[in-house]
Amino acid sequence: MTLLHAVLLLGIISLSFAADPAIRWCTVSIHEQQKCNDLKSKMATDYPEFSCIRKESHESCVNAIKSDQADATTLDGGDIYKGGLLPSRLKPIAAENITGESCYYAVAVVKKSSSITINNLKGKKSCHTGLGKSAGWIIPIGTIVQRTRDEWNREDPIEKFVEKFFSSSCVPGAGSQFPGLCKLCKGSGANKCQRSHHEPYYDYSGAFQCLKDDAGEVAFVKHTTVPAAERQNYKLLCLDGTTQPINNYKACHWAKVPAHAVVVRSRNVDDAKNDAIWRFLSLAQKRFGPHTQGQFKLFSSGTYQRKDLMFKDATEELIHLPKETDYLLYLGTNYANALKYIRKETGTSSNTLRWCTIGDPERRKCDTWTAVNCVGGTNAEDCIKQIMSGVADAVSLDGGQVYVGGKCGLVPVMAEYYNKGDRSPCRTRSNIIPSYYAVAVVKNPQATWESLRGKKSCHTGVGRTAGWNVPMGFLIKNNKIRACDVYNSTYFSDSCAPGADKTLHPHLCSLCIGTGKTLHSENKCDANSNERYFSYSGAFRCLAEAGDVAFVKHITIIENTFPLGQLDWNRNLQSSDYRLLCKDGTTAPIVNYETCNLAMVPAHAVMTRPNMKQQVLELLKNEQLKHGREGSEKTTFNMFDSATFSGKDLLFKDSTQCLIDVTATDYKGFLGQSYIATLEGLHSCKTPELLEACSFVTC
């Protein structure tokens, strides 16, 4: 018995340590290391494996985390951007909440007696927090460049322009090749102008000290930098040429930028450790936050005679960010674009538009489309992220994915038009919003909604319009399932809903077959064409081979039965063997879709970034003249046909007659309030991770 107890005890101990993996926090100064070690001591009982790793700079910490020598640190927005770049992208998991929001104000501070305004900054002496930092470099320099656009020769480094604009500066990290940017710095020997705390004028407190010492005449910092006791001696420079008291930062600032954030590795293998890091931080701020008792404070550095150690002293709390938040989502489009501009990042060196493909068959079709370059995506959400980040430019999405893309800042450009009987919108500009019918298809003519309980269902994909959003919304509305049980409902015994989590919701993947080549295909339940039961034709194939009901669009049956079915699995199927299941529980012939459907819904649409809309529009208009339904060169490549590639609906739906302009300015106008209300109802209990990340408001 004693041996058994010992074994059990060892097992409990090992499980405890397994649940809380070692966490290595990266620090950038002696004082920060001291505070970190004090935190380690305070948290030793709950997190004995927490440790502090000292590096010389934030850049060194970024490299240490990427190379798995450390696990987490807190970074400024500029460093978050650099950390997010390849290789080994880092991502933010927690944001500092300052004055009630996860962002802060970048301001320009001068002494109260100064006559400086933004209009006469040229030739003055400047103090900066550090090269590439948000408030101290990216925002002020980006603003100045915009106001003096003709003065920067973009062939030259931005540092050369700044060196000429100001008479002298302290920009820690600028380097010896720009001596004017290091002239005001105070460090001695090799430490002078270092982008670390070895340089006394580094970071917020250092840049303010540079101004306070009269080394510089203006300091670019954040709104909380000037100590409350000294604010009467300083003022802010406003963008309109006036000045304001320090406390008026909300009316007088140069930009509102994302707060500092805790960054970690973004690999899936690090998910467990990242969760442990958040649990550690959550417990630490609960015990040592601003309103707790005791000498040690997580968001205070006064004990160490320094400021902003580990976290900004003005931090009120850390906010847990949605899992899918990456560096670009956190920083926001405007901030990222400003940073790219002064970093002279122009994206791809080619002017060729980059189309995002989903699955191998789609990639094969895309590779024959000579007008575009092809970028592989694992699913629609991945394509949305790639377009947001500038890796890809365009993709055609289902209405449910248009909603997510719109929430993430993308805009609809052209929509697929399906009405074969009236092709007039293909020839003349039209204000119509193309649509189709979402239908439920069954094999049993006696089927009812109640008789389907416990049967097998086939879906185009989780989050897609006809295959998920509309039928699930219908079942919820009619009290067949509850909104919060949509992923766990036992209404259907087995399903194939590509994109579902195979681990959390195995019954939603139990009918899926992946590539069909092996019993346990690694592509099983993938939301791309590597899963044979994916999308409209895939869901119908699932019905033909394994299911009792398929949720598709109204023309799916005709397209996948004799005589239009051209593939091995569908060429002998007869449309007369299938019926539509109506809302009232009766069935109808498949041609009666106008009266027997679950909803009329918006068509698929091509989505892109707002700044790419015109380029994508022009390309698609030109391409469908050549490769569209009546294109002059459709024999070499047909945009709306997938038979050559042994697939269906690749890149665009095969039933597309043409692409027509989307006159709506955003996703809301395109989708319509009724469909959006359906989506919001579905998401009331569980929001898709990417949608949650895109809906999180930073700045």
What is the DSSP annotation of 264-295?
EE--GGGHHHHHHHHHHHHHHHHHHSTT--SS
What tokens does 259 get?
């707060």
Contacts of 62 (CB under 8 A, 6+ apart): 73, 75, 79, 82, 83, 90, 263
**Cα-based distances in Å from 624 to 182, 356, 387, 576:** 56, 18, 22, 34
DSSP character at residue 169: E
Are 219 and 207 in contact, with CB atoms under 8 Å apart? yes
> Is 417 annotated as belonging to a binding site?
no
The answer to whether 603 is annotated as binding is no
User: Could you give the 3-state DSSP secondary structure of residue 184?
Assistant: coil
Q: Are strands 599-602 and 435-442 parallel, antiparallel or unpaired?
A: antiparallel
Return the SS3 of 412.
strand
Whether 105 has a binding-site annotation, put simply, is no
Would you say 436 is a known binding-site residue? yes
**Alpha-carbon gap, residue 32 to 35, rounded angstroms:** 5
What is the distance between the alpha carbons of residues 137 and 594, in angstroms, rounded to a whole number? 60
Confirm whether residue 133 is marked as ligand binding: yes
Report d(CA 407, CA 396) in Å as an integer: 16
228 is in an annotated binding site: no
Q: Which two tokens stand for residue 3?
A: 């041996």
Q: How many CB atoms lie within 10 A of CB 362?
A: 25
> Any known ligand binding at 464?
yes
Q: Is 460 annotated as a binding residue?
A: yes
Report yes or no: 545 and 560 within 8 Å, Cβ to Cβ: no
Catalytic residue positions, numbered: 89, 266
Measured at the CA of 128, the angle between CA 126 and CA 132, to 5 degrees, comes to 135
Sign of CA dihedral 333, 336, 340, 346: negative
Residues 6 or more apart whose Cβ sits within 8 Å of residue 530 = 359, 360, 361, 514, 515, 523
Q: Are 608 and 387 in contact (CB under 8 A)?
A: yes
Q: Provide the strand spans (E) within 364-420.
A: 373-377, 395-397, 411-417
| Residue partners of 593: CB distance under 8 A and separation at least 6 | 437, 439, 554, 580
Residue 466 annotated as lining a ligand binding site: yes
The response to whether 276 counts as a known ligand-binding position is: no
How far apart, in whole angstroms, are the C-alpha atoms of residue 30 and residue 503?
Answer: 45
**76 has binding-site annotation:** yes
> Which residue from 197, 146, 194 is spatially nearest to 341, judged by alpha carbons?
146
Residue 204 marked as a ligand binder: yes
Binding site, annotated residues for Fe(3+): 76, 104, 204, 260, 398, 436, 536, 604
Binding site, annotated residues: 76, 104, 129, 133, 135-136, 204, 260, 398, 436, 460, 464, 466-467, 536, 604
Binding site, annotated residues for hydrogencarbonate: 129, 133, 135-136, 460, 464, 466-467
